[in-house]
Amino acid sequence: MNNCSYTKDVERWFDGAAIDSDVESHVADCAACAEHLQFLKLTREAIGAVDVRQVIGDAQLPSFLAGIEEGVHTPRKRYTGLWAMASAVAAALIVTVSTMTILSPGPEPVGAQTVVEEYSTEIDGATAESFYTGEEETPTVWVNVPDGDMW
């Protein structure tokens, strides 16, 4: 970056403006301004090398500026409605699945066994007992009735 106070004068002189100060002799003494002047020359040559230059005519300028204005100020398209709906559907799914999971009896829990808490008989002389039978260990409550007529 050229911090020399002659920089603006150098640029104006380069563009052909009438300058009071002796810019040319300053550029010969100031390495920074000489470098800046070289940069301006190279830039001009590079621009001049472009085959087709787009020129915005005066008639096109209002449309050109309007396009820029529109690009700058038009709000970016937001998908608020779509996202809101997707969120609502996701929330509804979560609530539904959670509710079904809570209310569904589901598979039998491991260890849910039948428990015989108490048993008795009022038949005279009979006794009651509890045991498990068969391959499935079926709980069984049994009355052992004495020989003879129950009644």
DSSP letters for 65-86: HHHHHHHHHSPPP--HHHHHHH
- Pick from 3, 59, 76, 151 the residue near other proteins by CB under 8 A: 151
- Pick from 90, 95, 97, 125 the residue near other proteins by CB under 8 A: 95
Instruction: Tell me the closest approach of the beta carbon of residue 97 to other proteins, in angstroms.
Output: 14
Residue 67 found at the interface with other proteins (CB under 8 A): no
Residue 105 found at the interface with other proteins (CB under 8 A): yes
Instruction: Tell me the closest approach of the beta carbon of residue 61 to other proteins, in angstroms.
Output: 51
Measured distance CA(95)–CA(84) in Å, rounded: 16
Looking up tokens 């009071």 gives 20
Instruction: Tell me the closest approach of the beta carbon of residue 135 to other proteins, in angstroms.
Output: 7
Residue 133 found at the interface with other proteins (CB under 8 A): yes
Residue 143 found at the interface with other proteins (CB under 8 A): yes
3 state DSSP class of 29? helix
Measured distance CA(80)–CA(87) in Å, rounded: 10
Residue 118 found at the interface with other proteins (CB under 8 A): yes
For residue 131, give the nearest of 141, 123, 120 by alpha carbon. 141
Q: How far is CA 101 from CA 29, 62, 89, 108, 146, in A?
A: 87, 64, 18, 14, 51
Q: Which one of the spans 22-30, 67-75, 77-85, 114-122 is the region binding other proteins (CB under 8 A)?
A: 114-122
The pairing of beta strand 138-144 with beta strand 127-133: antiparallel
Instruction: Tell me the closest approach of the beta carbon of residue 79 to other proteins, in angstroms.
Output: 22
Tell me which residues touch other proteins (CB under 8 A): 95, 99, 103, 105, 108-109, 111-123, 126, 128, 130, 133-136, 138-145, 150-151
